[in-house]
Each structure stands twice: as C-alpha cells, then as structure tokens.
Structure 1
C-alpha cells in the first residue's frame, strides 16, 4: 500500500487528498476514528467492496495517523455512516425475507394440520448426524440447516404463537 496515495482507491487522479493528520483542528485523529468506525460497520454488514489493502493494512486509527493516511473526498464518502446503516438495513431485510420464506401459511381446509401452518423446506434440507433440533432438543431425524441471525428466537416465538391457538 502506498501511503502517499488515497488509501481507498490507491489512484493518482490529480484530485486533492485530505489528510486528517494535517488538520488544524484540536482533535486531529477524529477523521481517522470516524473512518475506522465506518469501515467496521461495513464489515459487519457484509460489505464485499472493501479494498483488500484496507482489510489487511488499515487496522486502526493509530495506523492511519502514523502513516498520515489520505483520501479523496469522494472515496471517503463511499464509506459514510449513512451508507453503512443502509447496507446493514438491507442485510437485515434480506435475512428477514429469507426467514419469512421458510414458513408458509396454508389454508386449514387444504391441510391435515389443524393449525394451518407448515414449515417449508426452502432452506438447505439434509440429514445432520450428531446435531440436535433446537426446538425439541431431540437428536436424529430429518433436520434443516438454517443460518440467519436471530432465527432461533424468531422461530420459537412463531411456534409459541401457533401452539397457543
């Protein structure tokens, strides 16, 4: 990584580079702290657009300050807090939609199930030997692997509502 170039794009575009280390503000490292915090939010939200050198060489604000990291204002704005929040929101929505697709409400007249609810096998079906059902805590049988955040809590809530009826 060339620290004399923009730490985001590593390109020489002729555009002005901003360097928080050379700021006249009292809190000269604040720009680096904000950038690192935003990068962490993008990582948590599953951003795949992070340049490899940011993942490997930009560890913390101190590293940026020591090397006097610089950026183009347009490159910096790609990793704003607002964009990180939007990305996280889209991720939560995708996970929620994936969860919702695993359940299908069925008209009770079309089903032998008096509760009118069946579980779809939209997610990866298969046998997982040695694993245990997180609903009934029994081993064996046909299990389905699911990998969404908070699925256990949401599924238990749904089952509880269905069992109350």
Structure 2
C-alpha cells in the first residue's frame, strides 16, 4: 500500500504545482496505473529519438488544434532545447494507451474534422425560397431603387457561412 500512497503523492504534487513535472510518471497522463511504461530511450533501435520526435510533433499539433487529450502544459516538456530533446534527456516514458490517443491516425481525423468544420456549407434544410428573402431595395451595381421590372435576386455565401442576399437589377 505504500506504493499507492506514493503514487497519490506524485499525482498531487504534479497537479498542485504548475512548474512541477514528474518525469517518472507517464508524461502524457501524469498518472501511474497497471499498464507498463514505454521508454524509447530503452529501445535497441539506433534512432532512439524517433519515438520522442513522434510524440513531440503530435503533441504540438494536438495543442495547435486546442484538442490535447490530456491535461498537461506542453511547455513543461521543453527546457529550451525542444520537446523531443527534453524528453530524451529525462528518459520520458508513457503508457501505450496514452500514446495511442495522439496517434497519427487520430491526428489525421482531427485535421479532417477541423477542415470540414471550417468549410461546412449551409445545411440542406434551407430552401432556396428561404434564402432569397431580401431586405435590399437597391441594385448592388448601380445603387438605384427597383425599376418597373423590379429587382432580381442572387445570394452568395460569406466566409463565416452566413447567407447574404443581394438584389440585382437587370
């Protein structure tokens, strides 16, 4: 039971102080659980830093999207030499399940979702008739009031995807 109280102490210390980061815990969730920690520094590969580069780049991208799946300040992972180098110096490790939350596949899905959100068109529930209701009474080209034939309508979409209606005199 002493290890449970130590783990609780580590978690409390990590969350209590903004400046404190416990490199002995999973760097992503800052928790200890039954899963073993993976440490790329213990790898037999020649490119030991590859795992750290992968995690650091994905953390940056998730952070840029404001979608980090963890409650961590990634600035604490950088001592000024870069996140990957800082992780290597501190022999950072993580749970496989935590690393999977920032995988390339999840990052690609996030990118697609953000692109779709930013280019989403007006829902199909809008009908042309509802889009053509206009309060414009002057021609957009000559700024003159409607003639005998009236004004013809056209609509365009703005970047913020609100519909603006324009009247065109022909």
SS of residue matched to 1:6: coil
1:84 equivalent in alignment to 2:103 = no
Residue 76 of structure 2 is aligned with which of 39, 49, 57?
57
Matched residue, 2:54: 34
Q: CA deviation at 1:109?
A: 7.7
SS of residue matched to 2:37: coil
Q: How many residue pairs are counted as aligned between the two chains?
A: 124
Q: CA deviation at 1:96?
A: 1.5
SS of residue matched to 2:94: coil
Matched residue, 1:114: 152
1:70-149 correspondence to structure 2 within 5 Å: 70-97=93-120, 100=122, 106-107=128-129, 114-117=152-155
Structure 2 residue ranges without an equivalent (≥5): 1-20, 135-149, 162-167
- CA distance in 2 between partners of 1:109 and 1:92 (Å): 28
Q: CA deviation at 1:113?
A: 5.4
Quick one: structure 1 residues 71 and 106, their matched pair in 2 at CA, closer, same or farther if it must change by over 3 Å? same
Structure 1 residue ranges without an equivalent (≥5): 121-150, 155-162
Q: TM-score, normalised by structure 2?
A: 0.60
Q: TM-score, normalised by structure 1?
A: 0.61
Larger Rg: 2
- CA distance in 1 between partners of 2:25 and 2:116 (Å): 37
